[in-house]
Every structure is written in structure tokens, then in C-alpha cells.
Amino acid sequence: MLKDKIKVAVFVSGGGTNLQAILESEKRGEIPDAEIKLVLSNNPNAYALERAKNFGVKAVCVDKNEYKTLSEREKKTVEILEEEGIELIVLAGYLSILSEDFTKKYQNKIINVHPSLIPSFCGKGYYGLKVHEEALKYGVKVTGATVHFVNEIPDGGKIIMQKAVAVEDGDTPEILQKRVMREAEWILLPASLEKVAKELRENN
């Protein structure tokens, strides 16, 4: 018999459009092996916290300004995760690098979406619009998004899924960012979450 659904925490820092995509997928029954149990932000003003509440999901903030060190903040984060029985973490626009201790503790239990086809335009400092600016500057004709496991190297973990998106004439970084979200990130992230959760359930 399969164990209960995998309990998931989504980490966010901003608006939470990727979170919205996950929550809507869950509502449509497209993530049958996982349950979004918690949304955690390092920014008290993140609109993503409101989105969580709108879906009846517990929302908490571990404010980066309230903790002197990263290890103190992560210690608090781990306490919250353990309290909620979290088994899998999704980074959905979480603008904070996790420590090696944290990523080792949750090895193969943290997934992240990155707005390019890794190994292009990734690594330290590559997030948000910068990724799309660099892709346009380089002149690539195809970009996309990648969902990968998180380890101690930024964007360095094993790839779970990728989806290509065409770069069109006249694209600005903002236009390209929206297209990559709509055509790749919002599709890949819920699908990858389901894939990993299903494997976790089957292997437990």
C-alpha cells in the first residue's frame, strides 16, 4: 500500500506566480501524489503569502532581517518544516542561497525551477531578468526552463525536466521572461513536483 501523499513546502520570496501554478494544478487534481502543506517566505511582504492563504494553505515567514546569520534562519526553517512533517521542498522564486548543511539535510528532497536551459545562463548571480538579458545578449534562438534538484552548487543539481521556448524577434527581457513562465515554468514545475513526489511515495 502506498504511503500518504508527500507533504510539500514551497519556498517563495516575491509575487508567487509559480506558486499559483502549483496550487492551481493541485486543485485540478494534477498532483495526486503530493499535498502542498506549507508556503514559507523570507520576505514578509511577499504577495505569495496571500496567494497561499487564498488557497487555504498555511503561510509562514522566516524574515531574513530578523536573524543575524543564515544558520540561525535555517535552524528556524528546519524547526517549522519538521513540525509540519515536510518531506519535499519546492523553490519557486526563492531569492536566497541555501547552505550546504541545509541542502545535504534535504538531499534529493529540494527542487528548483530555473528560467533557462541549464547549463546555459545559470549559476551564481543568474536569476530573474538577468537570465533573459544574457540569453538575448548572446543571441540564442531557443531558451526555456529547467527543473532540477538542489545541491550546494547554485543550479548544479541533477536535471529533472526541461522545456524549450523560442526566442522571437523584438523580444525584450520582460517579454521573454513572461513567455518562459507561461510556456515552460508553469507547466514544468507542477509536473516535476508530481514526478518526484510519486517516486518518493513508491520508494518509501
The whole-number average pLDDT for the span 126-151 is 96
pTM score, whole prediction? 0.94
Residue 15 located in a structural domain: yes
Q: At what angle do helices 186-203 and 17-27 cross, to 10 degrees?
A: 60
What are the start-end ranges of the H helices in 28-155? 48-54, 70-83, 100-105, 129-138
CA–CA separation, 153 vs 55, rounded Å? 33
Residue 2 pLDDT greater than 90, yes or no: no
pLDDT by residue (tens digit) across 99-115? 999 999 999 999 999 99
- Adjacent-strand bridge partners of 59: 39
Q: What is the CATH number of the domain that holds 198?
A: 3.40.50.170
Residue 71 pLDDT greater than 80, yes or no: yes
Q: How many C-beta atoms surround the C-beta of residue 36 within 10 A?
A: 24
| Inter-residue contact 144 to 163 (CB < 8 Å) | yes
CA–CA separation, 193 vs 8, rounded Å? 9
Whole-number mean pLDDT of the chain?
95
Structure-block grid coordinates of residue 115: 528560467
| Inter-residue contact 10 to 36 (CB < 8 Å) | yes
pLDDT by residue (tens digit) across 77-104? 999 999 999 999 999 999 888 999 999 9
Into how many domains does the chain fold? 1
Cite the active site residues.
114
Q: Containing domain of residue 166, as a range?
A: 6-203
Q: Among all chains, which residue has been given the C-alpha cell 528556524?
A: 76
Residue 155 located in a structural domain: yes
pLDDT by residue (tens digit) across 141-171? 999 999 999 998 888 999 999 999 999 999 9
Residue 204 pLDDT greater than 80, yes or no: no
Residue 40 located in a structural domain: yes
Residue 79 located in a structural domain: yes
Give the pLDDT band (50/70/90) at residue 1. low
First to last CA, the chain: 10
Task: Check residue 3 and give its pLDDT.
Answer: 75
Full strand arrangement of the beta sheet holding 34-41: 58-61, 34-41, 6-12, 88-91, 110-114, 142-149, 159-166
Residue 1 located in a structural domain: no
CA-based torsion, 123, 90, 173, 162: positive or negative? positive
CA–CA separation, 111 vs 148, rounded Å? 6
pLDDT by residue (tens digit) across 25-68? 999 999 999 999 999 999 999 999 999 999 999 999 999 899 98
